[in-house]
Structures are given as C-alpha cells and as structure tokens.
Amino acid sequence: MSSFTDELIVEPMPDGRKWKLIKEFDYDIGFEGSGDTIHVPAGFVTDFASVPFIFWSLLPPWGKYGKAAIIHDFCYQSHCRCRAMSDYIFKEAMGILNVPKWKIFVMYWFVRIFGVFAY
C-alpha cells in the first residue's frame, strides 16, 4: 500500500491563500518502500486543492485530502511525472487518506478535465 512517509508541517503565507512547507514531505507510490517516491522539499508553496470558491462548501481547498493535494501540486509544478500519472497519484493518495469515494471521484475527474490548464 502507498504511504505518506512524513508528517505535514506548513505555515500560512502572507496572502492568506497559500501555504509553505516547513519540513520536507514524501509519498511512496504503489507501496511503502517501493523506491518510487515523490519528494516535496521544504519551502514548497501550495494552495492545497485548487477548488473554485463556488464549490468550497462541498470541497474546501484543505481537508482530509490535503496531503494528496500537495503531492499533486508538486507534480504539476515540477513536471516530475506526466499529467496523467500526477492525476493518478492524486487519486491513489486520496484513497490512502480514506477520503470518501464520491470526493475522490469528483476531485480526480476535475483534475483530469481541467488540469490541462494548470499543467
């Protein structure tokens, strides 16, 4: 089973919308110790999930899926994985975090359809 290998430690940025990682953050793809790891360095800036404001009552930018959103943001910004794989990793990571299946479905398809504009 995939695994987040580090505690998430962030601090808010002055703009009130973005967050900066204080400590590096890793995610093992596929299973813990797989050797296929996304390494997010300290200092990385994220907005967590880029959800349009109108949907925040159902899907706020932060929540149970916050760690998965950071991994996804890093993949998109660094291009360390292709877009399709980045989206799949986001979906996999939300499952590890026990995000409700309907949220995984909605958020995954949102990034599959609209992520092209951010990647």
Amino acid at 72: H
Instruction: Tell me the H-state helices in 49-100.
Output: 66-78, 83-96
Q: Backbone phi, then psi, for 103, in 5-degree steps?
A: -70, -40
Name the band, by pLDDT with cuts 50, 70 and 90, for residue 102. very high
| pLDDT tens by residue, 43-83 | 999 998 887 888 888 887 788 899 999 999 999 999 999 99
Give the Cα separation of 46 and 44 in Å (integer): 7
Segment 4-17 mean pLDDT: 88
Model pLDDT, residue 39: 95
Average pLDDT over residues 31-49: 92
**Helices and strands per DSSP (H, E), number in the chain:** 3, 6
